């Protein structure tokens, strides 16, 4: 087996190593990696299935490799984008200049289920709303990158990025001595530093940071515990916290201790039963009052889901230009907003050629890939569109780039996307070199989500 045919420049040194490898050895290494992930507990749950046992996310040993030049362009574009999204969130919850200017329709925000009136006329510590952002990027050509979506609420997957690299380092140490790859291992340290930099103004001494999890039954619980452990901070649940003297404190063996920053992995709706869902057992009663008083930092800020909305996504290039005065470095995918009558008719007429997504959807759920759908599926989805057009957007089917994966028959091309992670603090944007590459393991599939059978790869950004 060989990578020689059509090898891109960033892969050339890897190719010379790969061509000397024995198929049997690599297959054995793949089995070792799976055993490692199983022992470590790197699993996830699939909601809504009767047999929702914990599953492994398949890991492919062939890395996805980017040159330093490619990464420089991507990271510049990501930083520009996350700064603009943060400015947008600050604006819509305060002066609303972008709405008054007519750049973004007011109804798109006012009628958005992720918009929280409770956040109006309030600015978080340091003016940061999106402390951790995962930007999903696809490649369609040699120098053509598109943003698929912005994950501004609670982006997941960084633990897999870190574990994938650790696994590759253990499996192939000789490979990393031949090829200089930028490290990702500093992410937990940088995450903690970024969170501490976003502590409330009244915080004295080193800020106390915790990770708030919904608990062991959450699909991403492994990541919550992993990040808390890697940062050296406490992993807590809602019942471990309480309001004390206008602050949030956590229960310890020595009594309650005031905390300054909560990296929450609990959805807005469940964050405070006194403000949002009164039946929630996952949050902290009264935390929103403490937050608005400026005595706790919640990351990411409540209400950031407006920037996750796929209809709002279609305006991000305009949002970038409005707040930065620059054209967006990274392109958006052409997006048809089904809420618009003429657009809806176009989408219905061309359903078999389009990808249709729910505006608040995630994880690959609730979407239609037209070219892969049956007539029955197209008909059923058309009925959904007609019933709730504002709930959907549609995009053309992109000709996504492929990278090789290792199969029993040798190497085979599969479609991928990339989720780099940006850390935003009041004075800096720090982007880990690489990110999580997700791969559609089914031949021809465009759906890379782990919940839909996708896998992951280590992502290499070459030095220099």
pLDDT tens figures, 205-225: 999 999 999 999 888 898 999
Q: Among 119, 116, 100, 99, which Cα is nearest to 108's?
A: 99
pTM value?
A: 0.91
Q: Which residue is it, tokens 């398949």?
A: 58
Q: Among 316, 302, 307, which Cα is nearest to 117's?
A: 302
> Residue 360: pLDDT band by 50, 70, 90 thresholds?
confident
Given a cut of 50, whether residue 252 has pLDDT beyond it is: yes
| Candidate from 204-213, 243-252, 293-302, 354-363 with smallest mean pLDDT | 354-363
Give me the mean pLDDT over the 65-75 stretch.
96
What pLDDT digit, counting tens, does each position of 274-310 carry? 999 999 999 999 999 999 999 999 999 999 999 988 8
Q: Among 28, 6, 307, 2, which Cα is nearest to 151's?
A: 307
Given a cut of 70, whether residue 321 has pLDDT beyond it is: yes
Torsion angles phi and psi, residue 193, rounded to 5 = -60, -40
Q: Give me the sign of the Cα torsion angle 164, 166, 172, 175.
A: positive
CA atoms of 121 and 136, how far apart (whole Å): 30
Q: Can you list the domains of the chain with their CATH numbers?
A: 9-333+398-461 (no CATH), 336-396 (3.30.1490.270)
What pLDDT digit, counting tens, does each position of 437-459 carry? 999 888 877 777 666 668 899 99
Share of the chain above pLDDT 70, in %: 93
pLDDT at res. 309: 87
pLDDT at res. 361: 66
Q: What is the overall mean pLDDT for the chain?
A: 91
> Residue 6: pLDDT band by 50, 70, 90 thresholds?
low
Contacts by 86-91 with C-beta closer than 8 Å and gap 24+?
Answer: 86/127, 86/128, 86/129, 86/130, 86/424, 87/323, 88/307, 88/319, 88/323, 89/129, 89/130, 89/152, 89/301, 89/303, 89/304, 89/306, 89/307, 90/123, 90/127, 90/129, 91/323
Give me the mean pLDDT over the 304-324 stretch.
94
Given a cut of 90, whether residue 136 has pLDDT beyond it is: yes
CA atoms of 134 and 145, how far apart (whole Å): 15
User: Contact 287/294 with Cβ under 8 angstroms?
Assistant: no
CA atoms of 135 and 423, how far apart (whole Å): 11
pLDDT at res. 400: 78
Sort strands 144-151 and 331-332 into parallel, antiparallel or unpaired.
Answer: parallel
CA atoms of 28 and 261, how far apart (whole Å): 44
What pLDDT digit, counting tens, does each position of 364-384 carry? 567 888 888 899 999 999 999
> Residue 461: pLDDT band by 50, 70, 90 thresholds?
very high
CA atoms of 276 and 120, how far apart (whole Å): 15
CA atoms of 105 and 332, how far apart (whole Å): 18
Given a cut of 50, whether residue 270 has pLDDT beyond it is: yes
Given a cut of 70, whether residue 103 has pLDDT beyond it is: yes
Q: Which residue is it, tokens 């309001």?
A: 243
Given a cut of 50, whether residue 52 has pLDDT beyond it is: no
Does 124 or 21 have the greater pLDDT score? Answer: 124
End-to-end Cα spacing for the chain: 29
pLDDT at res. 443: 83
Other beta carbons less than 10 A from residue 36's beta carbon: 16
Q: Among 240, 180, 184, which Cα is nearest to 210's?
A: 240
Given a cut of 60, whether residue 258 has pLDDT beyond it is: yes
pLDDT at res. 294: 97
Share of the chain above pLDDT 90, in %: 71
Task: Give, as one character, the DSSP assignment of residue 352.
Answer: G
Give me the mean pLDDT over the 425-431 stretch.
96
């Amino acid at each position: 087996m060989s990578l020689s045919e059509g090898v891109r420049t960033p892969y050339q040194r890897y190719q010379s190593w790969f061509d000397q490898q024995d198929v049997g050895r690599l297959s054995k290494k793949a089995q070792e990696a799976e055993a490692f992930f199983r022992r470590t507990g790197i699993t996830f749950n699939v909601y809504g299935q009767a047999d929702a046992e914990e599953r492994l996310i398949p890991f492919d040993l062939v890395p996805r490799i980017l040159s330093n030049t490619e990464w420089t362009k991507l990271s510049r574009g990501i930083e520009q984008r996350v700064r603009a999204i943060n400015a947008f969130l600050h604006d819509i919850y305060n002066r609303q200049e972008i709405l008054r200017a007519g750049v973004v329709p007011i109804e798109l925000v006012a009628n958005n289920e992720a918009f929280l009136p409770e956040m109006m006329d309030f600015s978080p510590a340091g003016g940061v709303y999106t402390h951790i952002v995962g930007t999903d990027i696809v490649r369609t050509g040699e120098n053509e990158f598109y943003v698929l979506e912005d994950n501004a609420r609670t982006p997941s997957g960084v633990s897999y990025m870190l574990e994938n690299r650790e696994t590759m380092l253990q499996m192939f140490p000789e490979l990393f001595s031949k090829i200089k790859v930028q490290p990702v291992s500093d992410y937990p340290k940088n995450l903690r530093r970024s969170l501490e930099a976003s502590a409330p103004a009244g915080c004295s001494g080193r800020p106390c940071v915790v990770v708030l999890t919904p608990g062991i039954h959450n699909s991403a619980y492994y990541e919550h515990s992993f990040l808390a452990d890697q940062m050296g901070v406490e992993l807590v649940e809602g019942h471990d916290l309480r309001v004390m003297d206008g602050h949030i404190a956590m229960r310890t063996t020595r009594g309650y201790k005031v905390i300054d920053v909560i990296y929450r992995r609990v959805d807005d709706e469940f964050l405070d039963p006194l403000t949002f869902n009164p039946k929630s057992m996952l949050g902290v009663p009264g935390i929103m009052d403490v937050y608005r008083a400026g005595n706790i930092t919640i990351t990411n800020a409540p209400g950031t889901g407006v920037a996750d909305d796929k209809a709002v996504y279609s305006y991000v290039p305009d949002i970038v230009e409005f707040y930065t005065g620059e054209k967006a470095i990274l392109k958006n995918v052409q997006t048809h907003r089904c809420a618009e009558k003429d657009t809806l008719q176009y989408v219905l007429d061309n359903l078999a050629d389009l990808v249709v997504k729910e505006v608040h959807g995630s994880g690959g759920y609730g979407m239609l890939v037209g070219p892969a759908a049956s007539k029955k599926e197209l008909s059923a989805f058309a009925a959904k569109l007609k019933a709730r057009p504002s709930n959907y957007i549609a995009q053309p089917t992109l000709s996504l780039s492929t990278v090789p994966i290792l199969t029993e028959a040798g190497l085979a091309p599969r479609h991928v996307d990339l989720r780099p992670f940006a850390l935003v603090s009041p004075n800096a944007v720090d982007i880990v070199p690489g990110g999580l590459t997700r791969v559609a393991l089914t031949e021809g599939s465009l759906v890379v989500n782990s919940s839909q059978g996708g896998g992951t790869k280590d992502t290499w950004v070459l030095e220099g």
